[in-house]
């Protein structure tokens, strides 16, 4: 089954909602607002590719956080498969945070 552009947009919104429910345990802000998610691609078949990073390569949740993201996105309706790519290029920095995240952390 192929999805229309509108359906893909809806799936994307649902994925973003799920990403906003995943938190970096050291920073009380979700991974989406932190800017850890670099890209979310959705095929018209419902295959999802997520490119994300961690705050540091030595992040204590390096083993568990990507799997949590993959598991939660897999549960989104109409998502057929999830391919998660962890990258450290470019390196994450505080400028990648949303205004909301900066405000939340008292950086504004």
CA torsion, ordered 31, 35, 41, 47, to nearest 10 deg: -10
- Write the pLDDT tens digit of every residue in 20-70: 999 988 788 999 999 999 999 999 999 999 999 998 888 788 889 999 999
Domain interval for residue 59: 5-93
Percent of the chain with pLDDT strictly greater than 70 = 100
106: in domain: no
63: in domain: yes
Residue 99 binned pLDDT confidence (cut-offs 50, 70, 90): very high
* CATH number, domain with residue 47: 3.30.300.130
| Number of structural domains found in the chain | 1
Which pLDDT score is estimated for 62? 84
Which pLDDT score is estimated for 26? 78
Instruction: List the one residue out of 12, 34, 38 whose CA is nearest residue 107.
Output: 34
């Amino acid at each position: 089954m192929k999805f229309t552009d509108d359906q893909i947009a809806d799936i994307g919104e649902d994925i973003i909602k799920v990403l906003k429910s995943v938190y970096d345990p050291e920073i009380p802000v979700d991974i989406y607002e932190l800017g850890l998610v670099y890209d979310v691609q959705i095929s018209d078949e419902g295959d999802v590719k997520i490119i994300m990073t961690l705050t540091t390569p030595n992040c204590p949740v390096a083993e568990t956080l990507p799997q949590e993201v993959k598991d939660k996105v897999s549960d989104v309706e109409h998502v057929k498969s999830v391919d998660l790519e962890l990258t450290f290029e470019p390196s994450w920095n505080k400028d990648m945070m949303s205004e909301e995240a900066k405000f939340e952390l008292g950086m504004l």
